[in-house]
Structure 1
Amino acid sequence: MTAKTLHLPVAAQPSVESIVDIAKRGEQRGYERAWLPETWGRDAVTVLTRIASETDEIGIGPSIANVYSRSPALLGQTAATLQEVSDGRMRLGIGPSGPAVIEGWHGVDFDRPLRRTREYVDIVRAVTSGETLYYDGDIFSLAGFRLRCDPPETPIPIDVAGMGPKSVELAGRFGDGWHAIVFTPEGMKNRLEDLRRGIELGERDPNDVRVTLSVTACALEDGDRARELARQHLAFYVAAMGTYYRESLARQGYEEEANEIAAAWSSGEQERACSLIPDELLDDLGAAGTPERARAELEKFEAIDGVDSIAVGFPRGATTAEIESTIDALAPNR
C-alpha cells in the first residue's frame, strides 16, 4: 500500500508555530512523515527541530537540503543531530536544486551538480556512521573529521531528489530513495526506468530504494477555488523557478504549454500564464478540486507501480484553513 506523507508548505507561513501545527495535524491524521522544503523562508533545521520536539511518531526530513549552501560534513552533523532530537525519525533528502537558486540566491557556482550530489551521499554516510572521515573525491578531499558524540543508533536514510534521467539514475545507484516532483503519471513511469537502471548498476536490492512522489493537492468544498490555487502554483514553478521544471515538463510531452506559460509570466501577464494551464495538464500534475475529486485524482498517482509514498503538497497561495481542509480530506485515516 502506498504511504502518505506531507510536503509542508513552500510558501511563507505566519509563524514557525503555524508550520509545527500543520505537522502535528498530519501526525493526528495518520501521515507517515513531514517533509519540509528549504527555499527562501525559514530554515529547515530549526523548524524540523521544533517539529521533532512537539510530535511523537511522525517522521521528519528536509525535502530537499541543497548540496551547495552547507558543507557535506556540516550536513552530516546536522542529520545526526536531527536524528537524535527526533529519536530516530529522521530521513535526509538532498539534491542539487538549480542555478537560479544556487547562483542567484547563494552566490555559489552551480558546478558539477551530479558529481557533487554523489560525493555528499558518500560523505554524509561516513560522518553519520561515526567513523573518522577520509575522503578523496573529484570535488572534496577531506581528512580527520569525526563526530564528538555517539553516532545515531538508527542509520539515517539519504534520499536524492532529481528530475532528469541521469539524476534519477544516480538516486537509484547511490541513494536510499528518490524524491520526485512535478511529474505526470506517464512521466513518472519513464523516470522509474532510469531509477531501475541505477539500481542495477549499483547491484542493489530494489526494496532498499524508496520512491517518494510529491503531488500538489488542494481539496476544498469550493472546487473551483481549489483548482485555481493549483493553477497559480504550477504556473509559478514552471515560470519563476529557473528552467528545470520547464525542461522536465517538456520531456513529459508539454513543451509548448511550458514555454507559453513561461513567456506570459516573464512578460508580467501572470493571470494569462495561469489560464494557459489546461485542465488536462492540471490533472496530470496534481489533485485539485472538491474533496471527492481530489481523492480520485490522487489515486492515479498512488496506483503507479514503484511509488512507495505520496507526499501531499499544497499550493503556495493556500490559506492555513485551506491547507487544513486538504490534510483532512486526503488523510490516510479519515
Structure 2
Amino acid sequence: MRIGVALAERSGLDALERLTKEVRQAAADGLSSIWIPNGAGMDMLTALAVIGTRVPGIELVPAVVPTYPRHPATLAQQARTTAFALGPGRLTLGIGASHKIVVESAYGYDFDRPIRHMEEYLSVLVPLLEGESVSFRGETVRAQIALSVPNPERVPLLVAALGPKMLKLAGERADGTVLWMTGPRTVCDHIVPTINVAAETAGRARPRVVCMLPMAVTDDVKGARKRAGEIFEAYGTLPSYRAMMDREGVEGPADLAIVGNEQDAREALEQLAAAGVTDFVAGEFMRGEDGARTREFLKTFSNS
C-alpha cells in the first residue's frame, strides 16, 4: 500500500513557495504522493505544474477538481498540458461531482442527476485524456474536438465515488477512486467489491482505491479526537459523507480519524490494506510534537 499525504490549500503572496516547500519535504520523506484539493483558491492544476517542475519524482494529484464548472475538453487540455510540463508518470487527475450545496450555491449550476452528468462528462474527458478525438452529444455535455497537446502518455484518472452507481462508473471508465471520510468496514464491504466488479466486468485492470482519512500519532487520543471533530465537523453534514458514516456506524468525522500511538496507527493501516486499499493518504491535522511524530510514522511505514 502506497503512502501519501494531503496538503491544504495555501493563500497569500507566498502560497506557491509554501506549497513547494511542503511537497519537497514529502518527497524527501520518501512518501509516494501528495494530494491537494481544488477549492476557491489557486487553480491546483496550474499550481502543480509550477510546483512539479521544482520538485521531481513525487506523484502529484489534485483531489479533486469539481466537474460542473469546467467543460471536460477544457479540463483535459489543462491536465494534459500539466502532464506535459511535469513529465511522464507525475500527474494523476482526480475529479468529482462535488456537492449540491457547492454546485448550486457557488456556481449556480443545477445539481440534478449527478450520475448522468458524470457519465456524460467521462464520455468526453476519458478519450481526450488518452489522446483520442471525441464526438459526443449528450443531454448535459456536447463536444466534437481533438487536442494537440504533445504529452506522450495518457493522464491517469480517479473519480471521487461513494455510492454504488458512481463507483460503477469509476470502475468502468477510470483508473480508480479517491475516498474521504470512509472507514475500513465500508471500504471492505462496499467500496472495494463494487468498484472491483465493475472494473473486471469492463475488462479493466484492478482499480486504485485511495483512502484519505485524518491522522494523528499521539498519546493524547481524547484531545486529538476532539480536535478532529472541530476541524472536520462540516463533513458530517454533507449527505454523501454522512451516508458513509452511517454505513460505518460512527457518529461523525472524529470517529473516523486514525488516532493513537504508532502501534495503533500501524494496525489501522494494515486493516485498510487488507480491505483492498491501494493508497492511503494521511490528512495530518496536529501540529508541534504530534505533527512531527505523525510524519515520522508515515516515513517509517512508507519505507518499511
Alignment TM class, shorter chain as reference: 0.7 to 0.9
Matches within 5 A, 1:113-124: 113-124=114-125
Q: Aligned to 2:178, what secondary structure does the other structure show?
A: strand
Distance 1:173 1:228, change over 3 A: same
Aligned residue runs from structure 1 range 71-86, under 5 A: 71-86=71-86
Aligned mates of 2:111, 2:118 — CA distance in 1: 12
Q: CA separation of 1:38/1:196 partners in 2, compared to 1, >3 Å: closer, same or farther?
A: same
Q: Deviations over 1:157-188 (max 9, x none)?
A: 11111111211121111111111221121111
Counterparts of 1:194 and 1:170 in 2: how far apart (Å)? 10
- 1:103 equivalent to 2:104? Answer yes
Q: Which whole-Å CA distance do the structure 1 matches of 2:15 and 2:219 have between them?
A: 26
Rounded Cα–Cα distance in structure 2 between residues aligned with 1:299 and 1:203? 28
- CA separation in 2, counterparts of 1:237 and 1:42? 22
- Greater mean deviation of Cα atoms: 184-193 or 73-82: 184-193
What is the CA deviation profile of residues 39-65 of structure 1, one whole-angstrom value per residue up to 9, with x for unaligned ones?
233321232123212111001121111
Match for 1:114: what amino acid?
I
Name the structure 1 match of 2:175.
176
Aligned residue identity for 1:112 = R
- 2:25 corresponds in structure 1 to 25
Consecutive unaligned residues of structure 1, counting only runs of 5 or more, are 259-273
Q: Check whether the contact 1:123–1:135 (CA below 8 A) recurs between aligned residues.
A: yes
CA distance in 2, matches of 1:18, 1:133: 39
Q: TM-score, normalised by structure 1?
A: 0.80
Q: Which residue of 2 aligns with 1:265?
A: none
**What are the residue-to-residue correspondences of 1:264-275 with 2, within 5 Å?**
none
SS at match of 2:105: coil
Measure, in 2, the Cα distance between the counterparts of 1:11 and 1:320.
19
Q: Which amino acid aligns with 1:249?
A: M
Partner of 2:8: 9
Residue 287, structure 1, aligned to residue 286, structure 2: no
Structure 2 counterpart of 1:300? 271
* Candidates 295, 312, 316, aligned match of 2:282: 312
253 and 221 in structure 1: CA distance in 2 versus 1, 3 angstrom threshold? closer
Residue identity in the other structure for 1:231: G
Matches within 5 A, 1:182-331: 182-191=181-190, 192-206=192-206, 209-220=207-218, 223-239=221-237, 242-254=238-250, 257-258=251-252, 282=255, 285-304=256-275, 306-315=276-285, 318-319=286-287, 323=291, 325-331=293-299
Separation in structure 2 between the aligned mates of residue 296 and residue 289 of structure 1, nearest angstrom: 10
**What is the match of residue 55 of structure 2?**
55
Q: When the two structures are aligned, how many residues end up with a matched partner?
A: 299
Letter in 2 for 1:216: P
Is residue 286–residue 298 contact of structure 1 (8 Å, CA) maintained in 2? no
Contact 1:184-1:252 at 8 Å conserved across structures: yes
* TM-score, reference length from structure 2: 0.88
Q: Give the partner amino acid of 1:236.
A: A
